[in-house]
Structure 1
């Protein structure tokens, strides 16, 4: 993670960095709070066209994300990240510190991820996406890297820099969570991402899709017959649902005890991960998540402001 040439606020250093994307950096403020900032380069340096464009896109993206979080904070959901404070000078978003992204957790803990936990994460993401749809929003980039894992092992959907109103142009085309064909953000683009998210969580790896920038053909799609919720995944890829709410409704009905019985035939549907009695107890033993109260947000906001003043002195 290289900060060379960048304008880094609050005297952060590379040692404070938790992650870096195409348009933003995330730093650790303390044990409880993280700070997301745009990627900006020193104006007195001779910037390349790439650096100038990156800075411009970064500013637009974080402004969009701030606006989305403002709306979401007024209508919170237990599986959507709430932010604490938005500043304009310097530009930053202060948010609760999570363990790490679900994508990172799967990389380091994939073999030991209990099946019930994976299923719960899928249901929690579906719930978050359904909430966004009810607000007229499309996340636009649902994938494990943009889903954060809290200390209680519940998830928070985050990274709203690609989130737009339904019917607006898509901002992200991340394959295999976007088919590089849909240009308008709707329930179609969102359900495609959810299908790939389920596949990734339940198999432990991303689907290999034959992406051409044209509509996907059925014969190019991975076989999902042996995967729990395989029919849902396939229907999402084919954009067969009329809404994200309809996708979520089918996902909520998924059960690890479902043996896929259909008439006289039966087939065991799998989720890649341990599925022991003890693993189910570990998952079910966690209390359900709650949204942060206004009092808690106000308390953390004061902590942030005090920290900002100290850093500015």
Structure 2
């Protein structure tokens, strides 16, 4: 079987404002309100899977905390522009040297973190209601709109509940010791895998760095082994409600993400989550027409060398 073909970027996209580059795509801002996510590897399959999940999502009433797609082609996805990702926010609040955090300069306001916690849990619970898991809950896949409401994005790793988990790097996934061999295994996708990642995301929000990523932490720590053995960074579950949620997520306390989301709605900051909105069908149709017009005009065409 032939491998993925690395593609050149269409000239008209390359003249737009570059936002980010991920494992599977480039992201460019092409108008005030629209970005395009363009596949870097034709044939790799990730963007096709990402697009297929939007096809599923659009069969249901949209979730205010899951990003909507305006228009999709075989190698591109046109999406609403968002101000920043959680990854960007965290790094903006840190003093860093390459990949190491030297100092946390500030932490976001408590009420905002509580709202984000409730919105994140609601987004993952909505996906759970469709019989699916996100499968890649990490800071780059958490976006924020102009009102600082959370929007979950990037669905190329979505899987069905009960499928074998392909895991993720720590601290977003945890190996579980096999009771017979003692070796680590990822287990099956479901509430346990999703809530573990949610716990680590909430830890990032409340501490300003990843678990075991504090400047004073030993960089030689074997985080994979620590998580496998159930050794987690210290939190104050007895006195702090967010920390209680983090601890319970790490230990797989919640039987479903729906149960977790219900708990998160009682956080004081969650009272503002109801102000988040989805785009109307009319607005989406207008933006879809804009995207279609761009494609008709050759926006995605590769110039001959």
Which TM class, normalised by the smaller chain length? 0.7 to 0.9
Distance 1:216-1:227 versus aligned 2 partners, 3 A rule: farther
Greater RCO (Cα-Cα under 8 Å, separation 6 or more): 2
> How far 1:227 sits from its partner (Å)?
4.8
Structure 1 residues 225-234 or 30-39, which shifts more? 225-234
Question: How big is each residue's C-alpha offset from its partner over 1:165-213, in whole Å with a ceiling of 9 and x where there is no partner?
Answer: 1112334503201114424211110010011111111111111285336
For residue 123 of structure 1, the aligned residue among 104, 118, 128 is 118
Q: Which residue of 1 aligns with 2:208?
A: 204
TM-score (norm 2): 0.79
Kept after mapping to 1: 8 A contact 2:24/2:40: yes
For residue 308 of structure 1, the aligned residue among 291, 295, 303 is 295
Q: Number of matched residues?
A: 264
> How far 1:249 sits from its partner (Å)?
2.0
Q: Which residue of 2 aligns with 1:67?
A: 52
> How far 1:224 sits from its partner (Å)?
0.7
Structure with more helix by fraction: 1
1:12 aligns with 2:16: no
Q: Distance in 2 between matches of 1:19 and 1:85?
A: 19
Q: Distance in 1 between matches of 2:25 and 2:232?
A: 33
Q: Which residue of 2 aligns with 1:221?
A: 232
Unaligned runs of 5+ in 1: 41-54, 257-279
> How far 1:106 sits from its partner (Å)?
2.7
TM-score (norm 1): 0.77
**C-alpha RMSD of the superposition:** 2.6
Q: Distance in 2 between matches of 1:255 and 1:296?
A: 32
Unaligned runs of 5+ in 2: 1-5, 94-104, 176-184, 213-220
Kept after mapping to 1: 8 A contact 2:226/2:232: no
Q: Which residue of 1 aligns with 2:81?
A: 97
Structure with more strand by fraction: 2
> How far 1:231 sits from its partner (Å)?
2.1
